[in-house]
Amino acid sequence: MIRSFIALIACTFVLGISAGEAEARRFGGSKSFGMQRSAPATTPRAAPSAPKAGAAANGAPKRSWLGPIAGLAAGLGLAALFSHLGMGEELGSLLLMALLAFVAFRLFRRFAGGGVQRAPQGMQYAGPTPGNDARETRFNAAPAGGSSAAAVPEDFDEVAFVRQAKINFIRMQAAYDAGNLDDIRAFTTPDVFAEVKMQLDERADGGQQTDVVDLTADVIEVVRESERYIVSVRFHGLIRENRDAAPEAFDEVWHLTKPIAADGGWLISGIQQAH
């Protein structure tokens, strides 16, 4: 009797929690809508190899520091502790010296090993790198999609574009949380706005909180059509859609458009989930 009662309560809680989770969503409700393009749907698999290769090269030495640094950190702390406990200056210094020597030795070995690891990366320049391949197919694939594609224009400042795209991504999450329709209207095409507004109308309660925990963006395609530019930006990283919940991975492509002739900024024309 009691057991079934507890089970009932447990069920209520579980149902309650899952119902609550269904409410909170990021901008666009993790759905695909508006403009959908075929090229970017495949490129998120291929494209990352280009930036990732660079990132890995930069990231590798950083990671290798953690081990020795942690060891040395512990050492310094221990030495301070020994001294503090009155174990004598000699012991503190000696221990620290020993640790330093040990760490220096390990670092030296890392560098010796690092030289070997770096060699193949340098040699990649001799032949076509996987990254360059991906880049080429990306821009070759675009004309197959039916639009007249050009490579990234000379004057296209990708770094600045990505930075602004990230800022707008965060801004849209905040506007979506607050139900700020004016802000959303300023950054979306009418049909995307209609879809987003519908989602907000369906959301019964007043507000929610979405935290962008980790955000990476890559421009995966730049297309010039007769009347507009289309830039597809892939956003991925971690996002917390429910307060107190663990952040979850997300991966979606936003298609941004801007008319060539008329004034006006970049508008979100469509959102496409990677999966």
Partner 1 sequence: MNDKTTHFGFESVAEKEKAKRVAGVFSSVASNYDIMNDLMSLGLHRVWKTFTIQIAGVRAGHRVLDVAGGTADLSLAFAKRVGPTGQVWLTDINGAMLSHGRDRLIDRGHPLPVAQCDAEKLPFPDNYFNVVTVAFGLRNMTHKDQALAEMRRVLKPGGQLLVLEFSQVYKPLAPAYDLYSFKLLPWLGQKVAGDADSYRYLAESIRMHPGQEELKTLMEQVGLEKVDYFNMTGGVVALHRGFKIH
Which residues of this protein are in contact with partner 1, per CB under 8 A?
61-62, 65-66, 69-70, 72-73, 75-77, 79-80, 83-84, 88-89, 92-93, 96-97, 100, 104, 107, 111, 163, 166-167, 170-171, 173, 211-216, 237
| Beta carbon of residue 46, minimum distance to partner 1 (angstroms, whole number) | 23
Q: How far is the CB of 65 from partner 1 (least distance, A)?
A: 6
Cα–Cα distance measured from residue 114 to residue 103, given in angstroms and rounded to the nearest whole number = 16
Question: Shortest approach of partner 1 to residue 119 CB, angstroms?
Answer: 17
Nearer to partner 1 by Cβ, of 54 and 128: the residue is 54
Q: How far is the CB of 104 from partner 1 (least distance, A)?
A: 6
Degrees to nearest 5, angle at CA 209 with 203 and 214: 125
Helix, strand counts (H, E) of the chain: 8, 5
Minimum CB–partner distance for residue 102 and partner 1 (Å): 12
- Beta strand ranges found along 133-247 (DSSP E): 211-224, 228-240
Cβ-based nearer residue to partner 1, 34 or 48: 48
Return d(Cα 175, Cα 181) in angstroms, integer. Answer: 7
Question: CB-wise, 11 or 94, nearer to partner 1?
Answer: 94
| CB of 39 vs partner 1, minimal distance in Å | 26
Between 13 and 65, CB nearer to partner 1: 65
Instruction: Identify whether the C-beta of residue 269 lies closer than 8 Å to the C-beta of residue 35.
Output: yes
Question: Cα-flanking dihedrals φ and ψ of residue 221, to 5°?
Answer: -160, 140
Question: What is the strand order of the sheet 248-259 is part of?
Answer: 33-34, 267-273, 248-259, 228-240, 211-224
What gap in Å lies between CA 50 and CA 44, rounded to an integer? 11
Q: Which is nearer to partner 1, 110 or 224 (CB)?
A: 110
Shortest distance, position 101 Cβ to partner 1, whole Å: 10
Nearer to partner 1, 8 or 167 (CB): 167
Nearer to partner 1, 107 or 200 (CB): 107
Spell out where the chain has E strands: 33-34, 211-224, 228-240, 248-259, 267-273
How many Cβ atoms from other residues are within 10 Å of residue 34's Cβ? Answer: 22
